[in-house]
Amino acid sequence: MNMKGSLPLLILHVLGNGPAHGYRIAALIKAQSEGVLDFKEGTLYPTLHSLEQQGMIESYRELENGRERRYYRLMAAGQASLSAERAEWEEYASAVNTILRGLA
């Protein structure tokens, strides 16, 4: 797993807290990372579509302030993937941190 490969995991994590539209997903990731992770539409939406095609999430339309928005929600397969990918990420990050601390 690498930094670029973290977007699907982050999307699944955000949706694990409840449905959200794309802009809100991006805003939450940016806010929670204190601005370090700022995924643009050109990266975010293709990833959302891919996760939907894989059955990890599903989309639906809903009116918000008179405007129709596409919301995404986590499916059972996405929850299972989130658990597995979170464990994999933690193992990966721990290994990298161990190496970096040893080289400092």
Residue carrying the six token digits 């941190």 = 97
User: pLDDT tens digits, residue range 23-71?
Assistant: 999 999 999 999 999 988 889 999 999 999 999 999 999 998 889 999 9
Residue 3's pLDDT band, with cuts at 50, 70 and 90, is low
Report yes or no on 34 lying in a domain: yes
Residue 12 inside a domain? The answer is yes
pLDDT for 5 equals 76
Extract the tokens encoding 51.
């996760």
- pLDDT higher than threshold 50 for residue 2: no
* Domain of 79, in residue numbers: 6-103
Say which CATH number the domain at 41 has: 1.10.10.10
pTM of the complete model: 0.87
Residue 1 lies in a domain: no
pLDDT in tens, 70-80: 999 999 999 99
| Confidence band, pLDDT 50/70/90 cuts, at residue 1 | very low
Residue 20 lies in a domain: yes
Is 60 exceeded by the pLDDT of residue 104?
Answer: no
Domain assignment present for 99: yes
Domain count, the chain: 1
Neighbours of 86 (CB within 10 A): 14
Secondary element (H or E) of residue 46: helix 41-53
